[in-house]
Structure 1
Amino acid sequence: MKLSHNRAVLVMVAVTLMWSIAGVVTRHLEHAQRFEVTFWRSFFTVLSLLVILPWFQGREVFRRIGRAEAALWISGVCWCGMFTFFMLGITMISVANVLITMSLGPLLTALAARIFIGHRIPERTWVAIVVAGCGIGYIYGSQLTKGASLTGTMVALAVPISAAANWTVMQHAHAKGKDVDLLPAVLIGAFLSALIMLPLALPFQASAFDLTLLAGLGLFQLAIPCTLAVICARVLKAPEVSLLGLLEVVFGILLAWLGANEVPGPNVLAGGTLVIGALVVNELIGWRQRR
């Protein structure tokens, strides 16, 4: 599939909208519990990708997975962490809190790349890291003063950490002339997530309605948008992808607000404004400098 730049932008916007439905859909589940929710979403993602991958890359994709080098499997483990911790976080704290925490991914990636593979961090990114850190610190500090548990927030923080590890592994592999194929890595991550969650999810309690919603998440919230995002990344520059990806935060909060009456607190909105503002300014400045 080949896309023009404008079409890639439109497709990426649609991708972020599909990614953002997880919170509002999860709020309408009837009986499925935390670990079971995570298991079924990953399980249905695996089933969907087993159809999508051969369609896009041919059946030999499965043979390539078997012969893949360590970087692909490490990336798969990182995707597993992203899938698992995201859904666990969604079932523990507010959708807005999870999405804002998750948006730290690009800045944590810059830090990880600096520490582990020696990438230089521009001054503007250091400023963005400090400002975003203040925003997250404000959100977490306000929760502590209210006596709230930080367990869910710590779980959500594991999502951008996993993402940062994933992109750092891929950058390191690329520097050595070995690119990681993202789609098989996504399949590996979903499979590992479902495998890990299975014993924790038993005994199953999900109703037929729950399974329908979770199957929809597996297909429309993970498998299809992840595939389209990989295609868009071949056309769009990294800053464009990062900026458009922030729409997931906006869409996700709005959908949870409108579709599940989950109103974000003033502390989350204030801290989130710092985080998102720092990311937007950092990416826009970087984009203009590159142009």
Structure 2
Amino acid sequence: MKLTHRRAVWLMVAVTLMWSIAGVVTRQLEAARSFEVTFWRSFFTALTLLLILALWRGPGVWRQLRTAPAALWWSGLCWGAMFTSFMLALTMTSVAGVLVISSLNPLFTALLAWAFLRQRIAWFTWVAIALAGVGMVWMFGSQLESGSWQGMVVALFVPLTAAINWIVVQHAHAQGQDVDLVPSVLVGGVLSALATLPLAWPLQATAHDIGLLALLGGVQLAIPCTLLVICARVLKAPEISLLAQLEILFGILLVWIGAGERPGLAVLQGGALVLFALLANEWMAWNKKR
């Protein structure tokens, strides 16, 4: 069945809703902490993607992996770094702060593309970068007293490695190589699980925790990443970027309602400034292209 534009929009909304459950689910864990949380989530992400790829693309996908360009493995390394830093940050600071900082991917990407690919940055993107920087400083300042600023520093690696991932993929495309998103996410899950297992040992997660982390690996990450590939066939990049910002709203509301974690005033103020900068930048870029 052909996916219409309207259905693709609603499917993308569902994707952001699935992404947004990470915070509230993490707050329900009993014994699993830090690196163990990351290990189990990455492990179940890789396991779910193995099943999805086997059913969706058949056994030929494994032959494609063996002959894949080096860029796919570099992309997988970036995905692994994103998975690890995101979950570690969630265990160290507020969900709202992590979601806001993680959403800076478009601005980090613009800066790296300007530095390494010599792509020009529009004036409104420079303004958005400046506004987002003010918002981040405001949020970081509020976290100094509580001692949870380290989590926000870790969260910065999420948009940074996401931007590096985009640069790697764009460079590969410029050389005529195709980097498949879903297998690279699978590689990222495997690398993240392998890297965090020694640091998570001895494992202390209860059966309750493992069930919740399996939910994160499958429903919060593997399935929406696969659906994102389908949406990208119909929706334009600016549309996906704009709709992806719904994760911030959904994530803050879910953890507020489901775990009683109310974001601080400074985080809301700084986050609102960052979100405004992101939305304005994407809107201006979309109008310019149209």
Partner of 2:265: 266
Partner of 2:125: 125
Q: How does 1:130-149 map to 2 (within 5 A)?
A: 130-144=130-144, 146=145, 148-149=147-148
Q: Distance in 2 between matches of 1:118 and 1:178?
A: 20
Q: Does 1:23 align with 2:12?
A: no
TM-score by length of 2: 0.98
Deviation string 1:86-133 (CA, Å, 9 cap, x unpaired) is: 000001100001000101111000101111111111111111011111
Deviation string 1:56-79 (CA, Å, 9 cap, x unpaired) is: 222111111111111100000000
Partner of 1:44: 44
Structure 1 residues 2 and 76 mapped into 2: Cα distance closer, same or farther (>3 Å)? farther
Partner of 1:278: 277
Cα pair 2:40 2:210 within 8 Å, conserved: yes
Q: Does 1:181 align with 2:190?
A: no
How far has the Cα of 1:143 moved from its partner?
A: 2.1
Q: Distance in 1 between matches of 2:148 and 2:230?
A: 39
Report the number of matched residues: 290
Partner of 1:85: 85
How far has the Cα of 1:149 moved from its partner?
A: 4.2
Q: How does 1:151-190 map to 2 (within 5 A)?
A: 151-190=150-189
Cα pair 2:93 2:148 within 8 Å, conserved: no
Partner of 2:218: 219
Deviation string 1:243-277 (CA, Å, 9 cap, x unpaired) is: 00000111001101000000000000000011000
How far has the Cα of 1:147 moved from its partner?
A: 5.4
How far has the Cα of 1:20 moved from its partner?
A: 0.4
Kindly provide the amino acid, as one letter, of the partner of residue 75 in structure 2: S
Kindly provide the amino acid, as one letter, of the partner of residue 202 in structure 2: P
Kindly provide the amino acid, as one letter, of the partner of residue 131 in structure 2: V
Cα pair 2:69 2:179 within 8 Å, conserved: no
Consecutive aligned runs of 4 or more in structure 1 exceeding 4 Å deviation: none
How far has the Cα of 1:142 moved from its partner?
A: 2.4
Identity %: 62
Q: Distance in 2 between matches of 1:147 and 1:83?
A: 25
Q: Which range is displaced more, 149-158 or 247-256?
A: 149-158
Q: Which range is displaced more, 183-192 or 228-237?
A: 228-237
Kindly provide the amino acid, as one letter, of the partner of residue 60 in structure 1: G
Kindly provide the amino acid, as one letter, of the partner of residue 50 in structure 1: L
Partner of 1:55: 55
Stretches of structure 2 that go unaligned for 5 or more consecutive residues are none
Q: Distance in 1 between matches of 2:228 and 2:199?
A: 31
How far has the Cα of 1:153 moved from its partner?
A: 1.1
Q: Distance in 2 between matches of 1:169 and 1:263?
A: 37
Cα pair 2:65 2:183 within 8 Å, conserved: yes
Kindly provide the amino acid, as one letter, of the partner of residue 232 in structure 1: C
Structure 1 residues 149 and 26 mapped into 2: Cα distance closer, same or farther (>3 Å)? closer
Partner of 2:246: 247
How far has the Cα of 1:179 moved from its partner?
A: 2.2
Structure 1 residues 2 and 176 mapped into 2: Cα distance closer, same or farther (>3 Å)? farther
Partner-residue secondary structure (3-state), 1:203: coil
